Chains A and B, each alone.
Chain A
Amino acid sequence: MAHVCRKPDRAGRFATSAKMQVKPRWDLDFWIGSLVAVLMLFLIGGTFYRSTVSFQDAVAQRRHCLAVIIALERVLDVAQDAESSARGYALTGSELYLAPYETAVGDSYSPMDRLRELLRDSHGQEAQLDSLQSLMEQRIALSQTQVNLRRASGLAAVAQQIATGEDLQVTRKIRAIVASMESDELLFLAEIDRTVTSRQRAIRAMTYASLGFACLIMVSASVVILRAKKRREMAEESLRRASGRLQAVLQQMPAGVVLAEPPSGKMVFSNAAMGRIFRHPFQAIGSIEENRGYLMFHPGGQLPQPPEDTGLLQPLESALSRTLLWGEVITAEELHITRGDGTQGIVSTSATPVRDLEGNIVAAVTVLEDITDRRMMEMEIRQLNETLRRKASSLDAANRELEAFSYSVSHDLRAPLRHLSGFLELLAEHIVGSLDAKGRHYLDTLLDSARQMGLLIDDLLAFSRSGRVETRMTKVAMADSVEQVRQELAQDLGARNVVWTIEPLPEVTGDPALLKQVLANLLGNAIKYTRIREEAAIEVGCREEGAEWVFFVRDNGVGFDMRYASKLFGVFQRLHSSNEFEGTGVGLATVQRIIGRHGGRVWAAGVLDQGATFYFSLPKWVSEEEGRHGREPGESIATQEEQPS
């Protein structure tokens, strides 16, 4: 039984945890049942034994009683024999009558001794026994007197003696005592018979009960055995199902799986992926030796050669052999193999022993994964990274050069310009009196050109800086930024009539200074190009579009022809002459570069003489990384070119 219920335990490793939980309760039930059964058996056996012993006692007592009665009868017989034979001899004088008498007298002590022996332990009978003894002795003595009288004095003397009636009296007394004792024994006998009957009844009842209980145990045992059998069958069924599922999973796996058993090394399972990985039919291997000789399990498909001098074989054994032989756990060991079709591949091998409860290795599992593609891709990625790194470093160098160039422009180009402007002024002051109108015009033109060049250099530097400075991304409340810029610009508006419409604006992630530069350029443009209107209308707003905020600045100014929209954001590209509207053509290029560095786009829509709308988008969230490095200017230009349509 114990064995039966252990079986599911072993299988339990594959069974569900729910079944594992049922097991201890099932064990407890079994042990309690067995204990109860054994206790019951002991109880029944004990009772049986006690009843039998008491029954046997009663039978012995009964036998004893009967022996006492028989002994009493024998005593009486002796008394009567003594009396009748003595009397016969007295009457006839024939020695024939003396024979029974002699026998009676000769035996007279024997029945009495027997009686005394039987009644040795029954107290309360001694008195009667003693009187019987003395009466019996009287009886013998009387008969002896009669025989002696007859022999010596003849019939008359004996007749006289008999006539006294003493003879009769003694015998009567004996008979009375015997009858009394017999009646005692009979009473006792009746009592014993009652006991015997009750014991018999008890034993019969107990027999039936035992029979019933035995049947019960048999039935219970059958139930238990049947249940265990069913349980085992269910366990086996679920094991079969689980095994089927595992088989399916193992066969479907992209990785190769091999299972082998020690000590032979015989392969007990291999899945279809093995053949796919090795690119030739994978054959089941029958022994460690075969496994050792299997070329696919060794680097480059070369048979292992034991290193000279050392007797070490270990590093040459395949992963499966090492696990089988030494229980080694192998994790992702790389194996360069020559496949069945002659191509080279890289396989990652892992192996682990399967142990039984005692820790003995019962199987070894090897999993092989074709990582050739992954390794190739990794190598490719490494190469790409290296190329990228080189490109980045050359880009860095170019940036540094550009920075040095900008710095020198800032310093060296501005200085002569300043001198030009300064000395022209001084010259003008010096000769102002002697100049005619033409001379004055030339001087003014020179001064204006110098000033224009100064503006160009300053704007170009600002543009260059907008691409170089690091962005510091924080939360920027666009409404506040717009208001600040508007107030700064409003100071130079003079008597102009500008109607501002500023919608509620969201908070964005960006560099506050750079975004302010964007707003300053766009709002500044709006003010500039509405100069011709009596009432300028400038509108700022924002729409939410997917993962972006799209801001716009709309004005009712001179607008532009959409055919030239692509020129708007180019450096030094202008749609108006300096006579119409002053400017360097750098403002919108700067806007585009800054928005590009924020991961957004810029575009514009306009109608000639009716107004223009400039849009820029900002991602709702800009990562630190993206914000710091920004985008290549080329990228944002490309984006911008798609927009005007």
Chain B
Amino acid sequence: MKPNSVKDILLAEDDPKDVELTLAALQKHNIVNRVIVVGDGAAALDYLYREGEFAHRSTGDPPLVLLDLKMPKLDGLEVLRRIKSDAKLKTIPIVILTSSREERDIVESYRLGVNAYVVKPVRFQDFVEAVSHLAVFWALINEPPPESAGVQAQ
């Protein structure tokens, strides 16, 4: 295991059922990372900037952020826009995990610089497969950007 592989994946998802299913899917494949779950876009940004309830969390960026599109307060696209326009955060891999197959959502996400866009499959087996593939690829296989390129500067 690489040293960074133990970092927490950030999951921004407002629907507790989806959270449960996602966690169940990750559990099935024994993804070792802890998953930090936030219920809205604002909380996701708090986590990344270590503000609010996450002011005292340990340093380091998540190896992967899974973003739902439809969320209270700030929606997924807005969170994505803020992350990708922040020089310190923009290197964090972001995957949109959503029910929407709408072309305008897909186009806008890629325009904002998303790293991947995944439509949640209806069938549970497919869903489990998709989520586990994502986690395995981004958290284990993919080499994340060095810490120096990230938020550590502060």
Task: Give A contacts to B, CB under 8 Å.
Answer: 407, 410-411, 414-415, 417-419, 421-426, 450-451, 454, 458, 461, 465, 469
Contact = CB atoms under 8 A, between A and B. Distances in A.
Given A418-B127, A424-B124, A465 B103 contact: yes
Contacts of A451: 122-123
Given A411-B70, A415-B18, A422 B124 contact: yes
Given A423-B17, A426-B24, A418 B100 contact: no
28 contacts: A407-B102, A410-B100, A410-B101, A410-B102, A411-B70, A411-B99, A414-B99, A414-B120, A415-B15, A415-B17, A417-B122, A418-B18, A418-B99, A418-B121, A418-B124, A419-B15, A419-B17, A419-B18, A422-B17, A423-B21, A424-B124, A426-B24, A426-B124, A450-B122, A451-B123, A454-B122, A458-B122, A461-B101
B125 interface: yes
A469 B21 CA distance: 33
Contacts of A410: 99-102
Given A411-B70, A422-B127, 10 more contacts: A407-B100, A407-B102, A414-B122, A415-B17, A418-B18, A418-B121, A422-B24, A425-B124, A425-B125, A451-B122
Contacts of A407: 100, 102
Contacts of A454: 122-123
B95 to A, nearest CB: 17
Contact of A418 (B70, B101, B122, B125): B122
Contacts of B102: 407, 410
A407 B101 CA distance: 9
Contacts, number: 57
Closest 5 CB pairs of A and B: A454-B122, A425-B124, A422-B124, A422-B21, A419-B17
Interface string B1-36: 000000000000001011001001000000000000
A461 B122 CA distance: 14
Contacts of B99: 410-411, 414-415, 418
Contacts of A415: 15, 17-18, 99
Interface of B: 15, 17-18, 21, 24, 69-70, 98-103, 120-125, 127
Given A410-B102, A454-B123, A419 B21 contact: yes
Q: Is the interface of B mostly helix, strand, loop or mixed?
A: loop
A277 B98 CA distance: 73
Contacts of A425: 124-125
A454 B119 CA distance: 13
A417 B120 CA distance: 11
Nearest to A426: B24
A414 B98 CA distance: 10
A424 B21 CA distance: 11
A608 B124 CA distance: 39
A461 B21 CA distance: 24
Contacts of B122: 414, 417-418, 421, 450-451, 454, 458
Contacts of B98: 411
A415 B71 CA distance: 13
Max chain B Cβ within 10 angstroms of own Cβ: one of A417, A426, A451, A454: A426
Contacts of B121: 418
A93 B102 CA distance: 182
B136 to A, nearest CB: 20
Nearest to A451: B123
A129 B44 CA distance: 163
A506 to B, nearest CB: 29
Nearest to B21: A422
A248 to B, nearest CB: 67
A417 B123 CA distance: 9
Nearest to A454: B122
A454 B125 CA distance: 14
A234 B15 CA distance: 103
Contacts of B17: 415, 419, 422-423
B129 to A, nearest CB: 12
A535 to B, nearest CB: 33
Nearest to A453: B122
A417 B122 CA distance: 7
Contacts of A461: 101
Contacts of A414: 99, 120, 122
A561 to B, nearest CB: 34
Contact of A421 (B100, B103, B123): B123
Contacts of B15: 415, 419
A527 B25 CA distance: 35
A523 to B, nearest CB: 22
B124 A421 contact: yes
A419 B127 CA distance: 11
A17 B125 CA distance: 93
A513 to B, nearest CB: 10
A548 to B, nearest CB: 30
Nearest to A461: B101
A153 B118 CA distance: 193
A451 B101 CA distance: 17
A400 to B, nearest CB: 13
Of listed B100, B101, B122, residue having the most chain A CB within 10 A: B122
A424 B15 CA distance: 17
Contacts of B124: 418, 421-422, 424-426
